[in-house]
Structure 1
């Protein structure tokens, strides 16, 4: 039964990681027009759970993308400097939409894996009851 619980633990950690990634992608999309906003990213690491021995996905610290901010010329904007420029965000909507789709599909794959392990565990218990 340990293999079933390891499979459940592995897929649950993947679900948590992809949910965080999807949340950060949503924040990035929502703040794409916010002046001075830096895109947020999160790294994934493969770890072994000391208690169960299952391979799990661990998320690292949320990082800010330090690439250059877009320079926008709008002298009427309240944040513009003496030359009429201000810094926009470094969020590329095409990248964020692609990341959101990838996170969604990865989430769905982990959910199917979780459900499959749960169904196999349930079937095994049914067989053992007979």
Structure 2
């Protein structure tokens, strides 16, 4: 049964990691028009321990790409030339990241469900 619990634990940690990734993607999309906002990215780390292997979210990193210069002389943050720094969020990249995170989440959810079904089937066989 420990193999089943290890698989369930790994799937659950991967589900939490993908959920955190989706949360940061949604923050990026929400702040796409915020002046000076830098895109947040997350990394995943594996946590091998003696009992179980799990996945966790590493530190959040800010995208160091250059901020877009936006020309709007009426904006309160505009300089003497009428420009201000926008965000470096690219909505196409965010949508692609959201889709990838969603697919990874679905795959881990399917693995979790299949492991649970296999465990239930084994218990049914052992009861007979």
What is the TM-score of this pair, normalised by structure 1?
A: 0.95
State which of 99, 102, 127 in structure 2 corresponds to 1:101. 99
Aligned residue for 1:67, secondary structure, equals coil
**Greater mean deviation of Cα atoms: 73-82 or 93-102:** 73-82
TM-aligned CA deviation for residue 32 of structure 1 = 0.4
Structure 1 residue 49 displacement after superposition:
3.1
Q: Using the alignment, how far apart are the partners of 1:104 and 1:85 within structure 2?
A: 37
Residue aligning to 1:129: 127
**1:34-113 equivalences in 2 (<5 Å):** 34-50=34-50, 52=51, 54-113=52-111
Instruction: Give the superposition deviation at 1:47.
Output: 2.1
Question: How large is the Cα RMSD of the aligned pairs?
Answer: 0.8
Large movers: runs of 4+ above 4 Å: none
1:40 Cα deviation (Å)?
A: 0.5
- Separation in 1, partners of 2:40, 2:79: 26
Q: Displacement of 1:82 after TM fit?
A: 1.0
1:30 aligns with 2:25: no
- Give 1:2-13 correspondences, 5 Å limit: 2-13=2-13
Where structure 1 has 5 or more consecutive residues not aligned to the other structure, the ranges are: none
